Chains A and B, each alone.
Chain A
Amino acid sequence: MKKIKRENLKQLFDLISSGQRLYIPIKKAGQTNYGIYAADSRVDLDTLKTVKSSKEAFFPQSETLYTVTKENRKIKITQQELEGEDFVLFGVRGCDIKGAQVLDRVFLSSPVDSFYEARRNHGIIVALACSEPEESCFCTTFGVDPTEPEGDVTTWFKGEYLYWKANTEKGERLTALCSELLTDADEAAVEEEKESIKAILSRLPYADLSLESWHGDATNEKFGSELWKELYKPCLACGTCTFVCPTCQCYDLKDYDTGSGVQRYRCWDSCMYSDFTMMAHGNNRTSQMQRFRQRFMHKLVYFPANNDGMYSCVGCGRCVDKCPASTNIVKVIKAFSKEVNSK
């Protein structure tokens, strides 16, 4: 166990970023999002949840995959180079780390997405325990431990200090790099902090959220429910929930004609958009009810069916905070358990 004084953090960030890219929550124009650290960045580790999750470090909102140039009738394809350098992702909360594990199931399952894989292999995650969980948090429901998030390095804020524990070989390397700024510490303070976090967790408004009736075999029972017809009504069909979500992985592939070649890029897409499933031969899901249902069925039923019961929700609560119509996954889960209880 190591520690560093809060006031020395800037030196730490400068040191880390001198040899590699450092992604860290940065406050810009009033909002905190992950960004690449520069000496004048306003690092903000106090905001619990960045607006966008840390998934963009591995799966950016948009990225070029390859460029095609055409000469007469000949086509030349140049694939975008894969990530080749290590980078550090600092201050990741337990929910976002779990989110990355969910995305791993998607992108690292065969056929492997090499763009994602390269970033994942080169990323060093410095996790940060959640000293002050908020009202919209329900990560414990999905088995996340915010008191000790699993990263290459795990860190805790306690009093004046940031405590630092390396968990993996990558983490040890980073610790060695920063050794001049880190001093030895004992575990007592961290244990105390963990206890204090646990005490708050038990008081969270969503602490007793139950996923009892949600599992991989629930397709038939849930799909035909009348509840969807009511639940979807406030939905504006925007993509806010999907874009702030750490586990939403749907993407679109599009061409951009630069005038000197066509670039194919991949960008986040949202299953809530009206033309999401509009393909060459028509549309699978033509009503907003179907699209709304798809999002939650996918997260709570279809995904666990394919991934040994792992849900594609991590309880970060971003959608609870951000939905413009105040509808969200918690309301969906609660509506269904209410129905079960009233029967």
Chain B
Amino acid sequence: MQELISRLKELLESGSVQRVLGWKKGDFTFNPEPAYFNSAEELSEFVYDGFCGANLSKYMIKASNLEGVTAVLLKPCDTYSFNQLIKEHRVIREKAYIIGIGCKGKLSLDAIKAQGVKGITDIKGAEIDGDCNELKVETLYGEKTVSYKDSMLERCHVCKGKEHMIYDELMLESADTLDADRFTDVEIIENLTSEDKFTYFQRELSKCIRCNACRNVCPACSCRKCVFDSTKFDSEQKANVDPFHESMFHIIRAFHVAGRCTDCGECSRVCPQGIPLHLFNRKFIKDINEYYGVFQAGEDIGQTSPLTDYTLDDMEAEERR
């Protein structure tokens, strides 16, 4: 961690980058926020630990319009998004100095609270230099210990690997967190009856408050004007009286990012109602893999996306599973 900060200082002081895009300490140990650092002094507030889950690739869309080079800290999974954004001409490669940083799994405060922890005032053990096995949680109601693994975001259990797809330099160690298959949940739902599928998604989607956090955080949702913001198209951006519109929003959004979604899991991380939005994206990814060959968006800039491609003997819709 110290070496990372020294390196960032060096980059800023030498003038090779104009700013650093990283995370700033919050008022608790568990709520750091994405932030720009313009000088070495400002780095005193810099932090990188298990709570820095935000995918900074999305912020690079705006940072690409800023003067000079931005040093951006990207975790392995974030680099997929960055690649995808380069492919879509939404970020400028030359404007970014990518420091690929290690990751030992990112934490979810909700997952910690779900283990029956209330009134958290401090959490120790999330430091990137540590071994990330256990979290010591100080609460208003006494101290508790929870396992790091049980406190991770869902996406870290199905990690795509700790290899960076694009970087200028690499720093900090990673630790493997993969311990589940990402399509398991999708398969479970696929095997339900139509009625049960419907009931399941209705329960989940009925919680949706149309805050649009999933859309705004999504690196693939980088349209300047979203179809759901259009006033002319009669597509509802806000909650309508009938719940149909929430279903439509999530289906269409998943469709619009199909073939471009890198499965970074930000949508599920930010959802204030804890809707497992990744289940939509992973369904498309799974279908694409099965029907048109295994494809991982953001892995390789040169690849053609499955939805802008075809073969003469693609399967027919009626042959779908």
Contact = CB atoms under 8 A, between A and B. Distances in A.
A171 B51 CA distance: 45
A32 B8 CA distance: 42
A61 B213 contact: no
Contacts of A327: 33
B210 interface: yes
A52 B272 CA distance: 9
B197 interface: no
B27 A324 contact: no
A200 interface: yes
Interface residues of A, number: 54
24 contacts: A29-B206, A31-B274, A51-B273, A52-B209, A61-B209, A62-B240, A132-B140, A135-B120, A203-B140, A234-B34, A236-B213, A236-B270, A239-B212, A240-B213, A240-B270, A240-B272, A254-B238, A263-B241, A268-B238, A275-B231, A321-B109, A324-B269, A326-B32, A330-B27
Interface string A218-258: 00000000000000011011111011100000001010110
Interface of B: 26-28, 31-36, 54, 109, 118-121, 139-141, 203-204, 206-207, 209-213, 215-217, 229, 231, 234, 236-241, 269-270, 272-275
B241 A63 contact: yes
Interface string A260-277: 000101011110011100
Interface in A204-229: 204-205
A133 B140 contact: yes
A273 B32 CA distance: 23
A234 B241 contact: no
Interface string A317-343: 000111011110011001000000000
Interface string A53-91: 000000001111000000000000000000000000000
A243 B211 contact: yes
B121 A205 contact: yes
A37 B120 CA distance: 31
Interface string A93-122: 000000000000000000000000000000
Interface of A: 28-31, 33, 48, 51-52, 61-64, 132-135, 200, 203-205, 233-234, 236-240, 242-244, 252, 254, 256-257, 263, 265, 267-270, 273-275, 278, 320-322, 324-327, 330-331, 334
Given A31-B274, A263-B241, A268-B239, A326 B26 contact: yes
Contacts of B109: 321
Given A274-B229, A326-B33, A236 B241 contact: no
A270 B238 CA distance: 9
B238 A252 contact: yes
